[in-house]
Chains A and B, each alone.
Chain A
Amino acid sequence: MSGFFAVYSNLVPITLLQGVIYGFLALGIMIPFRMLSFPDLTAEGSFPLGGAVAAASIAAGWDPITATMFALFAGCLAGSATALIHLTLRLNTLLCGIIVLTMLFSINIRIMGKPNQAIFAFDNIFDVLLGGSSRDLTMQILLILGMVLVAALLLLLFLKTEAGMAMRAVGANQLMARAQGISIWKQTTLGIALAGGLCAVAGALMTQNQSFADVNMGFGVLINGLAAVIVGETLVGRSTLTRQLLAPIVGAIVYYQAISMALALGLNPSDLRLMTGLFVLAMLALPGVTGRREVMKIRE
């Protein structure tokens, strides 16, 4: 047991940092599912897209903040692509996401010019924003936590404006939204673009944390993010907008701690996906758990 604590406590700072970075991803996964009733898998492609764009831009000499903004923008484009395919062809949203994330695999390689890109030699966002303490994990965690909380706060404020309410109305009741003069196209595209942007920012930050982007870095992030959202909603609830927005962040932090604990306890890393899948299934099947099957409600 003391072995477990030694291993686990060593991992805590690193996994906390990853947890807060995945907070962006979980936010970006929550929005389509919860705010727009648009079950979406694009995250699996927009996350590595963000990583690829950030790594390629940094390697090309852009400063890390601009590079992260490029990633945000690219993620928004990826999200819009999924939304527009769904709106134009009326295909199931999950299929639209699969098509886009498949195409993104090739695009991500094109962006980097190769399947992966190291950026050890360059300054990253931590170096730029934290200066002398850029290698201090605590400072890194606080920085990203601050960023994700600001993102959530901006989102909260936006969702309370007329424009944000129009977007939520589309997720709640399309017939009613149309009758209130709201464009389903505009709001769906905006919302899914926003979600894609958040996932890409997560990818960009993860890349800068690891100083490395890999075209396969998105594999499995969707189900992890979904698990994080479910954990967060179970802990924080979703009765108010504030809770709905905090849940993914809290969930991501707790979920990645749980994973790290399981690994410290000797779980084989290659069994992790199986465990995550079983966990998500169990949560969806369990009646009475907040965030049940309705997470997977599918648009017509």
Chain B
Amino acid sequence: MLEVTSIRKTFHAGTVNARTALDGVSLTLDDGDFAVVIGGNGAGKSTLLNAIAGEVIADEGRIAVAGKDVTRLPTHRRAHLVSRVFQDPLAGSAGSMTIEENLALATRRGQSARLAFALTETRRALYREMLAPFGLGLENRLDHKVELLSGGQRQSLALAMAVVTLPRIILLDEHTAALDPKTAASVMQATVRAVEENRLTALMVTHNMQHAIDFGNRLIMMTDGRILFEARGEEKRGLTVEALVERFHLTDDKMLLS
């Protein structure tokens, strides 16, 4: 479903500020894989996701989603394949537009915008159905502006928007990190439910070791722009937070807490 082949990315190449964020990363995700990416600050996790999404164009290597080479495509031209939930709850939706307008945009993600009214009663009914499982009452506030929502509500909306078109891959970059622990847990739960119910292929970055152990069928650990360690299936299930810490001398508090 996702094939990343030896991609490299150096920011500010050729200057004193040159910084290699990805140093030959290869990764293949099969249909339905849920991979969790961990690694210290600056390891290149966000850059990897940005390269897959199109926000960063890799200097070298190849990225294919569902068999289609997207390496050089701008973000908007691969949006029909890739969807995304950002760390910043404000980033994933348009604050000055209403909940239903945001959902209307997401429902048509990657398709050409038509000169037809975006909102119909049928569509509204669909949105209510989509939002109800979150248990936040958003289904009764369809015509409210998104900027009025709390961070957790907004992140739940972003999640609903990211899964509605059943993307070939969904990218989650620390998408619960800005939320309080209780909200983070419920958004995480909704994420797992959405990914599993829709059999999506997912790539999730987290600094929360417990989440990395509990969720997904694959674990990828990055450092210095490379993949240092990978575990899947049985091996992944056998991992514990302690074992990971022991194995990689993870003394960095930032990696343990978040």
Chain A residues in the interface with B (C-beta under 8 A) = 158, 160-166, 168-169, 171-173, 175-184
Contact = CB atoms under 8 A, between A and B. Distances in A.
B94 A178 contact: no
B95 A178 contact: no
Give the size category of B's interface with A.
35 or more
26 contacts: A160-B118, A161-B113, A161-B114, A161-B115, A161-B116, A162-B108, A163-B113, A163-B115, A165-B97, A165-B104, A166-B105, A166-B113, A168-B96, A169-B105, A172-B95, A172-B97, A175-B55, A175-B86, A177-B76, A179-B75, A179-B83, A179-B84, A180-B76, A181-B76, A181-B110, A182-B105
A176 B90 CA distance: 9
A161 B96 CA distance: 16
Given A165-B101, A179-B109, 9 more contacts: A160-B119, A162-B117, A163-B114, A163-B115, A173-B91, A175-B91, A177-B105, A178-B75, A178-B79
Contact of A180 (B95, B106, B114, B116): B106
B151 interface: no
Which 8 A-B residue pairs are closest in the complex by CB-CB distance?
A181-B79, A172-B94, A181-B110, A178-B75, A162-B113, A163-B113, A166-B113, A162-B118
A165 B113 CA distance: 9
Nearest to A172: B94
Nearest to B111: A181
Contacts of A176: 91-94
Given A162-B114, A168-B97, A180 B91 contact: no
A161 B119 CA distance: 8
B149 to A, nearest CB: 14
Interface in B55-111: 55, 74-77, 79-80, 83-84, 86, 90-97, 101, 104-106, 108-111
Contacts of B75: 178-179
From A158, A166, A172, A176, residue with most partner B Cβ within 10 Å: A176
Contact of A182 (B76, B83, B114): B76
Q: Is the interface of B mostly helix, strand, loop or mixed?
A: loop
Nearest to B53: A179
A180 B118 contact: no
Contacts of B80: 181
Most buried by A among B83, B97, B105, B118: B105
B86 A180 contact: no
A276 B83 CA distance: 47
Contacts of A181: 76-77, 79-80, 108-111
Query: Which of A163, A164, A180: most chain B Cβ within 10 A?
Result: A180
A28 B116 CA distance: 23
A225 B164 CA distance: 42
A180 to B, nearest CB: 5
Contacts of A182: 76, 79, 105, 113
Contacts of A183: 76
B97 A162 contact: no
Nearest to A178: B75
A185 to B, nearest CB: 9
Contacts of A168: 94, 96-97, 101
Contacts of B90: 173
A175 B80 CA distance: 15
Contacts of A172: 94-97
B96 to A, nearest CB: 5
Given A176-B92, A176-B94, A179-B79, A160 B117 contact: yes
Contacts of B96: 168, 171-172
Given A162-B113, A163-B115, A184 B91 contact: no
B115 A169 contact: no
Contacts of B53: 179
A184 B76 contact: yes
A162 B101 contact: no
Contacts of B109: 179-181
A214 B210 CA distance: 71
Contacts of A162: 104, 108, 113-118
Contacts of B101: 165, 168
A172 B92 CA distance: 11
Contacts of A161: 113-118
A293 to B, nearest CB: 16
B153 to A, nearest CB: 16
A182 to B, nearest CB: 6
Contacts of B93: 173, 176
